[in-house]
Amino acid sequence: MSLQATTSQTVGPFFRIGFEWLHRDNLAGEGVSGERVTIQGRVFDGDGIPVPDAMLEIWQANAHGKYAHPEDTQDKPLEPGFTGYGRVPVAADGVFRFVTIKPGPVPGPEGGEQAPHLLVSVFMRGLLRRLVTRIYFPDDPRNAADFALNLVEPERRFTLIAKKIVGGPGTLEWNVVLQGPDETVFFDLGL
């Protein structure tokens, strides 16, 4: 008989004391190749109020489209010093910000390539289990054929694509909207 996965529980309001030792808001150290981007934004609750107590975890491939993980057997180079993992707290003013590199494309579920994307887990008080979403990059022609974006109704896809910030070269804005007409698309991974 197989076991059943342990029930998820909320991180509660005081998770910072458990998570802050591993905060990583700069994923791209010196010498890591790729186009550097700063991604910043806020998390909004159902009243449109910025959430000051959330934490995002990021998982992504390197600039060549290779994950630092043994299951990625693609013949692509690893980047020394690049793990692809970020842990980004939302500050008391509701803003989060992290620096990374734009990843390369990775294989899709039916062959072909996925457009460059980051995976994001969202944790906060009030969420009994994490939320899972993705960040895509603006003006990337590969977005049009991306399988995950094509799972989403066209009018909601914008919530997954970061926006350029005027006057902020290399800086993108991407927000997490928990409820309402602009609610972010969240994916069901099962857990």
Q: Is 4 exposed, middle or buried (0-12, 13-18, 19+ CB in 10 A)?
A: exposed
Stretch that binds another protein, among 4-12, 93-101, 136-144, 162-170 (CB under 8 A): 4-12
Q: How far is the CB of 168 from another protein (least distance, A)?
A: 27
Give yes or no for residue 8 binding another protein (CB under 8 A): yes
Strand order in the sheet with 85-89: 85-89, 54-59, 117-124, 131-136
Q: How far is the CB of 158 from another protein (least distance, A)?
A: 14
Choose, by CB under 8 A, the member of 62, 100, 143, 184 that binds another protein: 184
Q: How far is the CB of 190 from another protein (least distance, A)?
A: 4
**C-alpha 47: how far from chain center:** 23
What is the spatial distance between Cα 148 and Cα 186, in angstroms, rounded to a whole number? 11
Stretch that binds another protein, among 32-40, 94-102, 120-128, 135-143 (CB under 8 A): 120-128
- Scored b (16 or more CB within 10 A) or e, 92-106 reads eebebebbbbbbbbb
Binders of another protein among residues 44 to 73 (CB under 8 A) are 45-47, 51, 53, 57, 59, 61, 67-69, 71-72
Give yes or no for residue 115 binding another protein (CB under 8 A): no
